[in-house]
């Protein structure tokens, strides 16, 4: 193969951009399912889900992960943190549409 053909085949085999995010969500799901999520990182965890729910390919895994989180011992804390995030105008504006979709999951 010449150089151009090798480069072309290399790029066609490269993982899709959202692949690492999808794998990260799977890891986070395992952490939640095994009740190993520290309560201190709950706000950042929720904000991360609010951002990734806007990615079409990641929307369903995010919904599933949020439902799993709400079913754990951290469920009430998660709802409390979502309310606090909504009350913070800066963060709520920053999250915009992603937050609204995550709130629907909680209700």
Please, what is the angle between helix 75-87 and helix 89-106, to 10°?
A: 140
The full set of domain ranges for the chain reads 18-105
Task: For residue 52, give Cα distances in angstroms to 4, 6, 14, 48, 61.
Answer: 35, 33, 21, 6, 9
> What pTM value is reported for the model?
0.69
Residue 38 to residue 31: CA distance in whole angstroms: 10
- 16-50 residue pLDDT tens: 667 888 899 999 999 999 999 999 999 999 988 98
pLDDT for 51 equals: 81
Question: Taking the CB of residue 20, how many other CB atoms lie within 10 A of it?
Answer: 10
């Amino acid at each position: 193969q010449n150089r151009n053909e090798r480069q072309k085949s290399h790029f066609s085999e490269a993982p899709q951009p959202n692949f690492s995010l999808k794998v990260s969500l799977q890891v986070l799901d395992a952490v939640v399912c095994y009740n190993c999520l520290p309560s201190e990182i709950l706000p950042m965890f929720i904000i991360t889900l609010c951002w990734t729910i806007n990615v079409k390919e990641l929307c369903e895994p995010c919904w599933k992960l949020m439902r799993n989180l709400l079913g754990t011992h951290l469920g009430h804390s998660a709802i409390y943190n979502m309310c606090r995030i909504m009350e913070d105008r800066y963060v709520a504006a920053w999250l915009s549409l992603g937050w609204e979709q995550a709130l629907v999951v909680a209700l």
